[in-house]
Amino acid sequence: MRKKSASSVVLAWLLAFFFSPGAKARTEEPLSVSSPDGQLAVTLELKSLPGPFPPGERAYFRVKYKGIEILSDSPLGLDFLGAGPLDQDFEVVGTDRRSNDSTWENPFGPRRVVPDRYNQLTVSLLEKKPPARRVDLIFRAYDEGIAFRYFLPQQEVLETFALAAENSGFHFPKNSSALILDMGRFNTHNEGEYLWTRLDEIKPSQIINLPVVIEIPGGPWVALLEADLIDYGGMYVSGVPSIANALVSRLSMPPRKESLARNITTAERALREQPVVGATPKATPWRVLMVSPTPGRLIETSYLILNLNPPCALADTSWIKPGKSAWDWWVGSFAADLPFTPGMNTKTMKHYVDFAAAHRFEYMLIDAGWYPSTRRDWAQDNIRNWIPEVNIPEIIAHAKAKRVRIILWVDYRPLETQLEDALALYEKWGVAGIKVDSMNRDDQEMVNLYENWARKAAEHHLIIDFHGAFKPTGRERTYPNMLTREAVMAMEYNKWSSRVTPEHDVTIPFTRMLAGPMDFTPGAFRNAARGRFIAQDVEPMSQGTRAHQLAMFVVYESPLAVLADHPGAYENQPGIEFIEQVPTVWDDTKVLAGEPGKFVTIVRRKGDVWYLGSMTNWDERDFEIPLDFLGKGTFEARIFADGPVAAKDGTSLSIAVKHIKEGEKLPAHLAPGGGLAVILTPVGK
């Protein structure tokens, strides 16, 4: 912590006096901090409230937005294995206030210049009774939301610890509704539908993934997330017994098999079963409430998660290249008039490389099957060699000649056992990066593995795409070689289900995408209108129209955009020219309109060119898009819209060019499951 000024010391002494047990009628005065624009305020107060807790004064915080209470008194506390909970009978022994007003540059996201303005309050608490442990509560108030974390200073009475639970409460107003992803357990791949649920219907037995997006009646929209997750279990939430509209944090538990090892004591087993084991000094991740008058504004200000992470840890990031990638896995063994049999073989991979080169894509991703595997003991698979059918050096040499770089899929288990040798070898081969898969966990051990992989991969100039992954928490600011990750029910589900609907497509920008980059693998070109979709493993379809798929390249945030389909699906097909031109990182982002599960319209700028993406659910829509964001001058609009028969034939696409000026409105017609993609280029520049 920062060294306190003389005025801070005096203030701490005064607070200690007024908060002391003998102070007359002044037990605890609230301590507050407000956002720079004054619209958000978070208040901490020590008091005793009726409820399910044992008697005693506890630390509660509450949040107001424009005078509207969006969190009523919500308790804070930590439970430790073998020790009493750290959650009551405190005295304030110090406070610290600081502010920040700066910007930083992010060349790998939806906004290049990121504002970072906040006011911060740190309140140091001391237990009044032995063992007299200390904890700091750190609150930050941004214009975009509020965040808090616990900090355990180094102290003799708490040198090492096993954290059994973090009991951070979030008590929302009555009649609030939420979009939730209920996977029902810890340690999942975070792939499912976000469904509307009344907060008072969420049960204590449920385990709800983050983000949770809450609509407060008559008030703002709120997104509950976490940031800067490192050396800690991932956070989930559950309902609270006997308290309606309340959520409480739950920490990801280690896999049970980790606690079943033989030849360990009962105490050692109990230690292994806790979500966090550590030593002081120790900071928890940030608990974040993004707050906005509209759901679209949540998307615009999701950089808040990045702001709550440390700056880039890499001295040089020039080797990290965003871009688009061809990909061989989604379509299966596709049928094509080719002089070879498509499959996991050298000729097929070269075919994809040639496609990537022809359309100026930066990468080709070779997925599972290129290295020898018994599929019995995954950790023993040899990820430092290739099967005879796939000559990796030959493919890399071919790609290099075409100015395309190769990304290799690896299962995390052999990666962990062969990490140093494998990454060094990939760098020597000239590989650009790795796609790490199948983790399906976010317990403390796995969280630390991600961090280690990111750091080690950066040392070897390798980018990373995480699949079978937990949600982002902004660590890509610190290690920007983590270009993207899955943690979303994405295009792959069309191979075996009908779950990835247009409704789902226009829900995830307002939910999962708030956490960070999202590898949805867009760009399917076998597009099925409503009622015509069939789930199939080989050459799968997408639900909705081709314009809907094109719009995803603008709507979805991912510095690495991995195209789903095979080269033949794009050959001589309208719409591929939009994919060729659309960037994957941006200078500015604006959400023009949208509502979760219904529709969304987003514009993003790269240089002086704007790109527009609009998508709808199965409802047909006609509306006008205001173009006030364009600025002065005339723009050429290249419009990729649903074709005249798109309601029956999802591949129907209309392409038109017109000139447009600032202040005009662009008429839009979206077919059921439809979309709109537009390139707006200044004329005469």
Q: What is the DSSP string of 438-479?
A: -----SHHHHHHHHHHHHHHHHTT-EEEE-S-PPP-STTTT-
pLDDT of residue 531: 97
CATH 3.40.50.720 is held by the domain 6-307: no
Sign of the Cα pseudo-torsion (324, 326, 329, 330, in order): positive
Lowest mean pLDDT among 190-204, 332-346, 355-369, 467-481: 332-346
On the question of pLDDT at 1 being above 60, the answer is no
On the question of pLDDT at 49 being above 60, the answer is yes
Just list the catalytic residues: 437, 492
pLDDT of residue 322: 98
Residue among 213, 208, 210 at smallest CA distance from 184: 208
DSSP string, 104-152: EE-TTSS-SEEEEEEEEEEEEEEESSTT--EEEEEEEEESSEEEEEEEE
Strand 68-75 versus strand 58-65 pairing type? antiparallel
Give the pLDDT confidence of 120-153 residue by residue, as tens digits. 999 999 999 999 999 999 999 999 999 999 999 9
Q: Report the C-alpha gap between 322 and 584 in whole angstroms.
A: 7
Helices (H), 535-660: 546-555, 567-570, 576-581
- Name the 3-class secondary structure at 257: helix
Percent of the chain with pLDDT over 90: 89
- pLDDT tier at 262, thresholds 50, 70, 90: low
Q: In the Cβ-directed half-sphere of 81, how many Cα atoms lie within 13 Å?
A: 17
Our CA angle for 255, 190, 290, nearest 5°, is 115
Q: Report the C-alpha gap between 125 and 119 in whole angstroms.
A: 20
Lowest mean pLDDT among 9-23, 86-100, 279-293, 610-624: 9-23
To the nearest whole number, what is the mean pLDDT of the chain? 93
Beta strands in 204-322 (DSSP E): 209-215, 221-227, 235-240, 243-251, 276-279, 282-283, 286-292
pLDDT of residue 515: 98
Q: Which amino acid is at 525?
A: F
On the question of pLDDT at 12 being above 50, the answer is no
pLDDT of residue 544: 98
In the predicted model, what is the mean pLDDT of residues 78-97? 96
In the predicted model, what is the mean pLDDT of residues 4-8? 36
Give the pLDDT confidence of 97-120 residue by residue, as tens digits. 999 999 999 999 999 999 999 999
Tokens of 267: 């105490």
- Its CATH class, for the domain covering 321-487, is alpha beta
CATH of domain 488-555+585-685: 3.20.20.70
Our CA angle for 100, 105, 106, nearest 5°, is 120
Strand 323-327 versus strand 363-366 pairing type? parallel
The continuous run of DSSP H or E covering 541 comes out as none
Phi/psi at 510 (nearest 5 deg)?
A: -95, 0
Contact 244, 199 (CB under 8 A): yes
pLDDT of residue 3: 37
Long-range Cβ contacts of 451-456 (<8 Å, 24+ apart): 451/230, 451/231, 451/475, 451/479, 452/419, 453/415, 453/419, 454/479, 454/481, 454/482, 455/313, 455/479, 456/419, 456/420, 456/423
Q: Which residues have C-beta within 8 Å of that of residue 446, sequence separation ≥ 6?
A: 187, 439, 470
On the question of pLDDT at 18 being above 70, the answer is no
Contact 524, 562 (CB under 8 A): no
On the question of pLDDT at 260 being above 90, the answer is no
Q: Report the C-alpha gap between 535 and 542 in whole angstroms.
A: 9
Give the pLDDT confidence of 150-168 residue by residue, as tens digits. 999 999 999 999 999 999 9
On the question of pLDDT at 17 being above 80, the answer is no
In the predicted model, what is the mean pLDDT of residues 22-28? 36
- pLDDT tier at 266, thresholds 50, 70, 90: confident
pLDDT of residue 9: 30
- pLDDT tier at 41, thresholds 50, 70, 90: very high
On the question of pLDDT at 7 being above 50, the answer is no
On the question of pLDDT at 26 being above 50, the answer is no
pLDDT of residue 57: 92
pLDDT of residue 662: 84
Phi/psi at 370 (nearest 5 deg)?
A: -85, -20
What angle in degrees, to the nearest 10, is found between the helix axes of 346-358 and 392-401? Answer: 20
On the question of pLDDT at 20 being above 50, the answer is no
Our CA angle for 21, 24, 26, nearest 5°, is 75
To 10 degrees, the CA torsion angle through 210, 290, 288, 321?
A: 70
DSSP 8-state secondary structure symbol assigned to residue 683 = T
- pLDDT tier at 4, thresholds 50, 70, 90: very low
Tokens of 129: 């009774």
Q: Report the C-alpha gap between 165 and 184 in whole angstroms.
A: 18
For the whole model, what pTM was predicted? 0.94
Q: Report the C-alpha gap between 303 and 586 in whole angstroms.
A: 13
pLDDT of residue 52: 67
pLDDT of residue 219: 86
On the question of pLDDT at 333 being above 90, the answer is no
Q: Which one is predicted more confidently, 459 or 256?
A: 459
Domain boundaries, the chain: 6-307, 321-487, 488-555+585-685
- pLDDT tier at 208, thresholds 50, 70, 90: very high
In the predicted model, what is the mean pLDDT of residues 524-553? 98
On the question of pLDDT at 652 being above 70, the answer is yes
Our CA angle for 616, 619, 625, nearest 5°, is 50
Contact 393, 429 (CB under 8 A): yes
In the predicted model, what is the mean pLDDT of residues 438-454? 98
Write the CA distances from 340 to 161, 344, 346, 538, integer angstroms: 60, 11, 10, 17
Fold match flag (6-307 vs 321-487): no
On the question of pLDDT at 567 being above 80, the answer is yes
- Name the 3-class secondary structure at 163: strand
Tokens of 108: 């790998």
